[in-house]
């Protein structure tokens, strides 16, 4: 079991793990039957925690693993004087878990996105990772009264990995509310990852990711995100004026 304790970024605990360590930890969860709830925390999520106490409670006390998703989270940790080896982006971790699961015969369930998107993401995953077992899909536009039926379907599918793409904070709230009823071992919110895998939304080119410019690409592609993305400069300022816990 990994011992690296979480660092604190604006009161949010983040595990400074590598991608390899995160995959190994979650693989161990499946092997030992322990349920792990994963949050991939980018700057927007850290800022959401500042404004929404219930969401902060979920990220700080209900999540088992909080990973540094996004250049902002990595920069903040390093600026505060912590060792943060690398960014563990939700989309990349999602892909790595699918890939690692092929050899081990793991089953995954895709829940979320507009109708047809999870199925399109499944088809793409099957092309990228031959042998991957995606044992069910459900779109993310549902009424809470339908949750019991969706949970029954997920449990019947035998999926060990449950990927939920409802966006933050909805995906984390849904997972926390239903964790006890879910038999899956890895519970993870993945935002718009099905859209990206399905090819409906483009991800920033590698050079932009490496230059910490993924936010600029998203803003260019989805100008409607402008208001949401104001959280990023606010995050930078807040980190600059904070100190290591
Ligand atoms: N979504 C959903 N149900 C909802 C609201 C959103 O399935 O009630 C999906 C939406 O279709 C999209 C994803 O959740 O695929 C949210 O993507 P976004 O880019 O906002 O998430 P982020 O990656 O920024 O957290």
Ligand 1 centroid distance, CA of 179 (Å): 20
Residue-wise pLDDT tens digits, 101-119:
999 999 999 999 999 999 9
Residue whose CB lies within 8 A of the most ligand 1 atoms, among 91, 165, 229, for a mutation test: 165
Residue of the CA atom closest to atom 6 of ligand 1: 166
CA 174 – CA 190 distance, rounded (Å): 13
- Specify burial of residue 178 (Cβ count, 10 A radius: 0-12, 13-18, 19+): middle
Name the pLDDT band for 212 (thresholds 50, 70, 90): confident
Ligand 1 centroid distance, CA of 193 (Å): 9
| 30 ligand 1 Cβ < 6 A | no
**Torsion of the alpha carbons at 30, 31, 34 and 37, rounded to the nearest 10:** -30
Residue matched to tokens 């920069």: 75
Q: What pLDDT does residue 2 have?
A: 57
Q: What pLDDT does residue 225 have?
A: 86
| 140 ligand 1 Cβ < 6 A | yes
Residue 15 has pLDDT above 80, yes or no: yes
The full length of the chain comes to 245
Write the CB contacts of 30 (distance below 8 Å, at least 6 apart in sequence).
Answer: 104, 106, 160, 161, 185, 186
Contact 166, 114 (CB under 8 A): no
Ligand 1 centroid distance, CA of 111 (Å): 11
Residue-wise pLDDT tens digits, 224-244:
888 888 899 999 999 999 877
Residue-wise pLDDT tens digits, 153-189:
999 999 999 999 999 999 999 999 999 999 999 999 9
Ligand 1 centroid distance, CA of 169 (Å): 10
Q: Which SS3 state, helix, strand or coil, does residue 80 take?
A: coil
Residue 3 has pLDDT above 60, yes or no: no
Residue-wise pLDDT tens digits, 28-43:
999 999 999 999 999 9
Ligand 1 centroid distance, CA of 190 (Å): 9
What sign for the dihedral angle of Cα 51, 57, 61, 63? negative
Residue-wise pLDDT tens digits, 47-96:
999 999 999 999 999 999 999 998 999 999 999 999 999 999 999 999 99
Contact 210, 203 (CB under 8 A): no
Residue 1 has pLDDT above 90, yes or no: no
């Amino acid at each position: 079991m990994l011992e690296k304790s979480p660092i604190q970024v604006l009161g949010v605990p983040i595990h400074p793990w590598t991608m390899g360590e995160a995959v190994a930890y979650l693989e161990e969860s499946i092997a030992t039957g322990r349920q792990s709830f994963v949050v991939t925390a980018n700057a927007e999520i850290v800022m959401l925690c500042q404004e929404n106490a219930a969401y902060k409670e979920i990220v700080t006390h209900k999540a088992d693993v909080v990973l540094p998703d996004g250049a902002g989270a990595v920069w903040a940790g390093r600026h505060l004087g912590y060792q943060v080896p690398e960014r563990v982006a939700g989309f990349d971790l999602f892909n790595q878990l699918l890939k690692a699961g092929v050899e081990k015969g793991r089953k995954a369930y895709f829940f979320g996105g507009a109708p047809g998107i999870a199925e399109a993401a499944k088809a793409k995953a099957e092309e990228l990772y031959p042998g991957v077992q995606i044992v069910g899909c459900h779109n993310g536009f549902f009424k809470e009264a339908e949750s019991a039926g969706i949970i029954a379907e997920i449990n019947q599918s035998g999926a060990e990995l449950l990927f939920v793409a409802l966006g933050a904070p909805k995906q984390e709230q849904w997972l926390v509310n239903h964790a006890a009823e879910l038999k899956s071992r890895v519970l993870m919110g993945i935002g718009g990852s099905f859209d990206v895998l399905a090819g409906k939304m483009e991800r920033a080119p590698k050079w932009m990711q490496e230059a910490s410019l993924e936010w600029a690409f998203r803003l260019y592609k989805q100008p409607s995100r402008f208001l949401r993305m104001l959280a990023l400069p606010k995050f930078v300022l807040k980190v600059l004026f904070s100190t290591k816990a």
